[in-house]
Structure 1
């Protein structure tokens, strides 16, 4: 679900990717007039309008420098990109969970991406999205889909993340240290890991290619504490906004009597914190 397309989708370049893979580019389909006509009227002014996340057709306010960003948020403003924290061991996961920050694009960034390695992971805010490292000098891309190559990128990314997470300073093996260092993953984190695992195991099923199946998968939207965000949404496909619904932060189950709609269901109106105690970690 997280490899998106065109007007900004996912993202990330990780150091282990061999530059011989070149660049994999995807484009969103154009928006028909009837799609744009159905967009809600904007109530607040924006410094810049961009297409909504995924391949939706409605305009939203672009995120400004220093604001949080990620897969589920609006794109960063012109001249900015969404970056994970410098040196992060799980940059892809940070961007999926919306923990990135909009920052200015460095002039020599594309040239230095091959040297910078893991710090080059990013959420691209252009009409085209590269899923690998920068194109080697002197090499051009024709923008055609290469889905087998893209799946290889996903698998390599996940393998590298797991390898990096397995590293770390060696500490004495004592019950106290083990208890401190082993954090029990939340339900949302477990579900997210399961989706990423499914994607990493994908094969090309037919002539459509595996990316057709990514859109059918729901990647949970977790907050910084590992709980479910109140609003969960499906990807926008073919210019049509994905459905959104409200869930319990602790269980991820739909909130009774809350709407399912292609827009903002205003989940705060249906959530009662007293009826949904947050589990202790």
Structure 2
């Protein structure tokens, strides 16, 4: 009995970490020939061709300076980086929504920023009003990490400003989005379900025509 128990304990000790690690580590599926064969051809004249964001395999045009960018969009061209606007109240959300802008890459001088932070006097002013533009790179990295966490937990996010619901992305593909009544959360039947922005602003007339009573619990 003791021998069986000992062997069982050793087996669990060896195999359990691998099982747990498999749940924690996320790996993109490989770009097989079958997946590449389904990619549409790039017909536009691109200054630079890059791979799809996330776990995508298909070639797409890189975003140029001044174009919209974000976590779900193709990356910016070489020498550029995606930044939120300077006056953005929620820079992470802006990047997740793809409302950032490609701009010239600014290298972060770590020693200079540390020296500035050490000599800065703490006051009542909001830190966003004094944050240098170079810190936008840090916000972009944080946005990517947050997107990974949301994808693993399979959570849904509701965009109140655009009255839409979206499923989280999987395998590099953005989740499906649809328009809802902002007061009830009910899907508007006349609106499409698409992978991307369903442009719910154009359905304002339908929103006003829908019942405004809260959903029954």
Q: TM-score, normalised by structure 2?
A: 0.54
8 Å CA contact 2:151–2:169 kept in 1: the answer is no
**Of 205, 213, 236, which aligns to 2:170?**
236
- Indicate the structure whose relative CO is greater, using CA pairs within 8 Å and at least 6 residues apart: 1
Q: Residues 131 and 250 from structure 1, CA distance in 2 versus in 1: closer, same or farther, beyond 3 angstroms?
A: closer
> How do 1:164-183 residues align onto structure 2 when only pairs under 5 Å count?
none
Deviation at 1:35, TM superposition (A): 1.8
Q: Provide the rounded CA distance (Å) in 1 between the counterparts of 2:95 and 2:177.
A: 21
Q: Residues 86 and 273 from structure 1, CA distance in 2 versus in 1: closer, same or farther, beyond 3 angstroms?
A: closer
Q: Does 1:227 align with 2:162?
A: yes
How many aligned residue pairs are there? 165
Mind listing any 5+ residue stretches in structure 2 that lack a counterpart?
Answer: 1-25, 118-130, 210-217
> How do 1:204-219 residues align onto structure 2 when only pairs under 5 Å count?
211=149, 214=152, 216-219=154-157
Deviation at 1:102, TM superposition (A): 0.9
Q: TM-score, normalised by structure 1?
A: 0.44
8 Å CA contact 1:50–1:74 kept in 2: the answer is yes
Deviations 1:86-140 (A, max 9, x none): 365532233223332111112x42545556774313279xxxx9559xxxxxxxx
Q: Provide the rounded CA distance (Å) in 1 between the counterparts of 2:190 and 2:35.
A: 28
**Of 121, 124, 135, which aligns to 2:136?**
121
> How do 1:253-264 residues align onto structure 2 when only pairs under 5 Å count?
253-256=186-189, 260=193
Mind listing any 5+ residue stretches in structure 1 that lack a counterpart?
Answer: 1-25, 133-149, 155-198, 200-209
Match of 2:73 in 1: 73
Q: Residues 258 and 277 from structure 1, CA distance in 2 versus in 1: closer, same or farther, beyond 3 angstroms?
A: closer
Which protein has the larger Cα radius of gyration, Structure 1 or Structure 2?
A: 2
Q: Residues 216 and 65 from structure 1, CA distance in 2 versus in 1: closer, same or farther, beyond 3 angstroms?
A: same
Q: Provide the rounded CA distance (Å) in 1 between the counterparts of 2:29 and 2:159.
A: 25
8 Å CA contact 1:53–1:236 kept in 2: the answer is no
Match of 2:125 in 1: none
Match of 1:186 in 2: none
Alignment RMSD (CA, Å):
4.3
Match of 2:207 in 1: 276
8 Å CA contact 1:66–1:103 kept in 2: the answer is yes
Q: Provide the rounded CA distance (Å) in 2 between the counterparts of 1:220 and 1:260.
A: 14
8 Å CA contact 2:66–2:103 kept in 1: the answer is yes
